[in-house]
Amino acid sequence: MSENSASASDYWKANLRLVRNCLIIWFLASFGFGILLRPLLSGIRIGGTDVGFWFAQQGSILIFLALIFYYAWRMNRIDRRFGVEEN
């Protein structure tokens, strides 16, 4: 395996690892906290409503938006590390 091929493989592994981690966080925030754990979170109040309802209605969207910015920031760092950044 050439160095370029190994570098490309490592780049895509880093990219897929980042995507996987972002999707896990989003799944936990939307499905986990909003649906599965909602009965456990019903006693905790944020802004006049329980945390489970908040995650189902607003929290998962806000976390998704934060993950978009985090993904872009991390991918720029990964691109620089592997020498494939855009100018």
pLDDT in tens, 11-27: 999 999 999 999 999 99
pTM: 0.79
Q: How far apart are the first and last CA of the chain?
A: 29
**Sign, Cα dihedral of 55, 57, 59, 63:** positive
Model pLDDT, residue 1: 46
Nearest CA among 84, 65, 62 for reference residue 75: 84
Phi then psi dihedrals of residue 82, to 5 deg: -100, 5
**Whether the Cβ atoms of residue 50 and residue 44 lie closer than 8 Å to each other:** yes
Enumerate the domain spans of the chain: 3-82
